[in-house]
Amino acid sequence: MTVNKLVAATAGRHTSGRNLKILVAITGASGALYAQRLLDNLDVREHELHVVLSNYAQQVISEELPGGLQLPAGVRTHNLKSMNAPFASGSNPPDAMVVIPCTMGTLGRIAHGYSEDVLLRAADVVLKERRKLILVPRETPLSLVHVKNMELLLQAGAILLPANPSFYANPKTIREVVDTVVARVLDHLGVANKLAPRWAEEEIE
């Protein structure tokens, strides 16, 4: 048995074994590839996967994803302006909602309880029903307004998982850089992944 500081996680190590109902919300922040890589790594045969885009998400996707957003077959998409979605009601919330990437605008609206479209209402529902809300904000630098909104969200129980990649595993491609963040999102969802090397994990030969 050899011990490497950085090796890929062994399969199954972080498995919940549960089928989850997951809502992925994509907003108009830079980093559409984070959303794409998350969708690429959620198995629709294992989890019930829903997607909703903010008004501005499509514009950034057009700038950043040459082939557009690729939705895996079986993903259920929802119209932002229709409340005809399960998670618009506290009677049918998802197990988890991930806003990735998350603008400061959406983050602020969620922090202050705006619920005028289905994305914001879903976040409101997830918080009030004490389900898991993972926000992946992307902005720099931050103003006090941003930080105060983040503070409020942390107090309300949200997980703030900024799109801050790590470099200690020497990622070689943009995808590998992005995956250092997406791996942490999957970890917080409780979804098995070996997307990015883990620090000081033993490699068993």
To the nearest whole angstrom, how small is the minimum distance from the Cβ of residue 195 to ligand FMN? 22
Give the C-alpha separation, 132 to 25, whole Å. 13
Alpha helix locations (H) across the chain?
Answer: 32-40, 57-64, 104-111, 118-128, 144-155, 174-189
Interacting residues of 20 by C-beta distance below 8 A, sequence separation 6+:
47, 48, 94, 95, 96, 189, 190, 191
Contact 54, 26 (CB under 8 A): yes
Closer residue to ligand FMN, CB minimum distance, 135 or 192: 135
- Scored b (16 or more CB within 10 A) or e, 171-182 reads beeeebbbbbbb
Residue type, 145: V
- Minimum Å gap between C-beta 67 and ligand FMN is 17
Instruction: Work out how close the CB of 148 gets to ligand FMN at its nearest, in angstroms, rounded to a whole number.
Output: 15
Closer to ligand FMN at the Cβ: 46 or 56? 56
Which residue, 63 or 202, is less far from ligand FMN as judged by CB? 63
Cα separations (Å) of 10 from 15, 17, 171, 196? 11, 15, 19, 11
CB nearer to ligand FMN: pick between 57 and 122 = 57
How far apart are CB 42 and ligand FMN at their closest, in Å? 21
Closest separation in Å from C-beta 154 to ligand FMN: 18
Residue 3 or 154 with smaller CB distance to ligand FMN: 154
The count of C-alpha atoms lying within 13 angstroms of the C-alpha of 187, restricted to the half-sphere facing its C-beta, is 15
8 Å CB contact between 199 and 4: no
Q: Applying CB under 6 A, which residues contact ligand FMN?
A: 27-30, 54-57, 59-60, 63, 103-106, 138-139
Pick 47 or 109: Cβ nearer ligand FMN: 109
Q: How far is the CB of 102 from ligand FMN (least distance, A)?
A: 8
